[in-house]
């Protein structure tokens, strides 16, 4: 099973999730999405894999979000994808992907069901 973590090494939750994966015997592929920004298609795929409310994938506390003058509650899936593709710092982190499933590591333990 291939496991990929969309990782920001400056984020404590991202570091904790990476350590949790490793302590469970998983050596994930690490995607530092701020160094290698995702394409719009990659963001669309992440939204689909995580499922649920796509607004959970966007960080509304970031300065970039405030600069866009958007309201999280009013965002459409397409607006979320466009905003994250244009401003990768807005992507909620970390996200762990295994095959056709993904989970946001907030809290880090939320990714554990993916390992089963």
Distance CA 34, CA 9 (A): 10
Q: Which residue has the tokens 């984020």?
A: 11
Q: Would residue 25 be called left, alpha or beta, if left means φ above 0 and alpha means ψ between -120 and 50 degrees?
A: left
11 in catalytic set: yes
101-104, strands of its sheet edge to edge: 29-31, 3-6, 95-98, 101-104
Selected catalytic residue, list 11, 26, 49, 115: 11
- Indicate the burial class of 4 (C-beta count within 10 angstroms; 0-12, 13-18, 19 or more): middle
Active-site amino acid positions: 11
């Amino acid at each position: 099973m291939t496991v990929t973590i969309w990782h920001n090494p400056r984020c404590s939750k991202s570091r904790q999730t990476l350590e949790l994966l490793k302590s469970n015997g998983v050596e994930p592929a690490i995607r530092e999405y701020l160094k290698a920004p995702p394409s719009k298609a990659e963001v669309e795929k992440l939204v689909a894999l995580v499922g649920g409310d796509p607004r959970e994938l966007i960080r509304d506390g970031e300065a970039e979000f405030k600069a866009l003058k958007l309201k999280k509650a009013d965002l459409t899936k397409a607006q979320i994808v466009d905003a994250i593709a244009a401003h990768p710092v807005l992507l909620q982190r970390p996200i762990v992907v295994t095959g056709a499933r993904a989970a946001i590591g907030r809290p880090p333990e939320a990714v554990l069901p993916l390992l089963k």
